[in-house]
Amino acid sequence: MLAHAVGAQWVETPLARQHKIAGHLAPTPVTIPRSEAAQPKTLVLRVRCYADHDWRLGGIRWQDRARAQLEALNHIIEPGLGIRLEPERFERWERQANPGKLNDVLTELEGFDKGEEVDWVFGFVTPMALATNSIHEIGMARYLGRHLVIRGMSSMELMEQFNKELDLLDRSEREVLYSERKAHKEVVVLLHEWAHTSGVLHSSDPSRIMNPTYSRDSSTFSPQDMVLLRAGLAARATAAGGRAVDWSALASALAATSSNEWFTRERDELVRILKSQASQRAGMVLDQGGSGRPPGGTWSKPDADAYNRALALFNQNKDEEIWNAIAPRTSDPKVRAEILSLTCRLVGVPALASEGPRLCQRALAEAPPDNPVPFLDAAEGALLHKDRALALTHARAALVHAAQGNQPEGNLTWLAKLLLRLDSPAWAQEALTKARASTEVDRLRAEVSRSRRIWGLADVGQPSSLLPSPRTSTWLPGGPPWPISTKVGLSRPRPRSPPRRKSAARSRGCIRYRVSWHSCSDSSDRQVRRATLRSRPVPNSRGPTICSRTSSCPRAPARQHCNP
């Protein structure tokens, strides 16, 4: 017995061996180290999500599956980075590019949705037929971009491998292991591509999330990766809502940070991209709509810097700091009208109690004929003061100025949204006349059409009357046999169809709904079929009638025997 006990310590059963293998296959939890500084209030950034046809077929309620992936990502980044991603909306996407080439799919998504008024655009696309560990065959994003695509992670090949190699385990255990591996892979790939959009480089360490090859051990960012990630997210947060991003802070962080895990060629490529972004921003300001084009004319560097700082602070509702940013420029007689018009929107600044209205009126007086931005600011300020009449006056003036020249798409969509808020769908439709087709413009046009129907206005290109125009019938050679009235309620009513012929059973007072048939025999051995009802009585043409097994059949002998 002692020998048996001692030998049992060295014997490993096949079931125990498979449990051990399953433990080794379990993924390592993903974590992000918290910052040593005090965590600020969680910053919410918006994401617009698209799913192609193949991804939607992966299961019912595809919106819930996409939302679950975002929540899994938030569970990791919110404690460590103070960032939370909120879906703006979920849209169907009829992808045309070859799903085998993610670069083409990403290019199509970038052209399909410019990412206006959101911080990121996520595209969920068809899964791969075979399992792969190359992250860039599963997801793709560009450095400092706003778009990323990620494949579905379902893999029948992996599940079949588990069923074959771990056949002694319970089926539920194999399914749990598969679900954990699938969820871990989704989070790692999504984190990897999302970090690329904030300027994080690839890592040569297999345990890092930024390694180009997926591993069940991928679980952390390196300290150098975290420096770039925090700098990139801070830059994007100051331009929340789809506006162009100032990456100068990221460029400084990259210049001051080095890592042996980074690839030199990729680092040089990111430096080149940052320099290109900086040269494009020189002398350029962000417009309110997020198109990244100057609202008009050439800007001096002091005006551009002051305007950019002010717009970044608008997202944080810091009116005092906005005034401090633009106050030195208001005394310059050649200051841009767009800078002066920002004072129209500053509420609760004591220094502007008397000076603000004068500066706002000066901005409107000095506005060029083709620049609607000062009037848009004035309309927004009037809405803040709950003066809708004055806001509508300024919005109408902005519409007149917008018609004088070519406007950035951001200005046109901003104007259309403002007019919709003021319940002016007809003017909003006029504002979108020159806008190029895009996802945002199409959505606004649909909203305009809906608002016009609510207010009883015909769509553009339709007759102004709500009544249908008289039409000649196509199935009568001489037209309708009666004159069509143009007054509501006086046209000839539709002729009623002839009454349906009552069935013989109903005319004799039998039950209308037949639950079951029974064969009845009378004295002459005739077989008579009758119906029985096991619910409440049903009225017929002769009034309510209760039929049961013992009731007599109409037009049948009184004595009869029913055999079920």
Per-residue pLDDT averaged across 55-69, rounded?
88
Tell the residue number behind the tokens 């002769």, with chain if given. Answer: 542
The tokens for 466 are 């709500």
Instruction: Tell me what pLDDT residue 287 has.
Output: 40
Tell the residue number behind the tokens 């551009």, with chain if given. Answer: 304
Q: Return the CA Rg of the chain.
A: 36
Say which amino acid occupies 107: T
Confidence label for 469 from pLDDT (cuts 50, 70 and 90): very low
**Domains in the chain, please, with CATH?**
40-242 (3.40.390.10), 309-454 (1.25.40.10), 507-563 (no CATH)
SS (H, E, C) 161-201: HHHHHCCCCCHHHHHHHHHHHHHHHHHHHHHHHHHHCCCCC
Pairing verdict, β 516-521 and 147-151: unpaired
Q: Among 14-23, 216-225, 454-463, whose mean pLDDT is lowest?
A: 454-463
Confidence label for 491 from pLDDT (cuts 50, 70 and 90): very low
Task: Reply yes or no on whether the pLDDT at 46 is more than 80.
Answer: yes
Confidence label for 317 from pLDDT (cuts 50, 70 and 90): low
Task: Reply yes or no on whether the pLDDT at 461 is more than 90.
Answer: no
pLDDT in tens, 324-339: 888 888 888 888 888 8
Confidence label for 226 from pLDDT (cuts 50, 70 and 90): very high
Instruction: Tell me what pLDDT residue 10 has.
Output: 60
Q: Are 531 and 516 in contact (CB under 8 A)?
A: yes
Global confidence as pTM:
0.54
Q: Among 66-70, 159-163, 429-433, whose mean pLDDT is lowest?
A: 159-163
Per-residue pLDDT averaged across 22-30, rounded?
86
| Percent above pLDDT 70 for the chain | 71
DSSP code, position 286? -
Confidence label for 220 from pLDDT (cuts 50, 70 and 90): very high
155 CB-near residues (< 8 Å, 6+ apart): 127, 128, 131, 182
Higher pLDDT, 484 or 55: 55
Query: Within a 10 A sphere around the Cβ of 512, how many other Cβ atoms?
Result: 15
What are residue 122's DSSP bridge partners?
49, 148
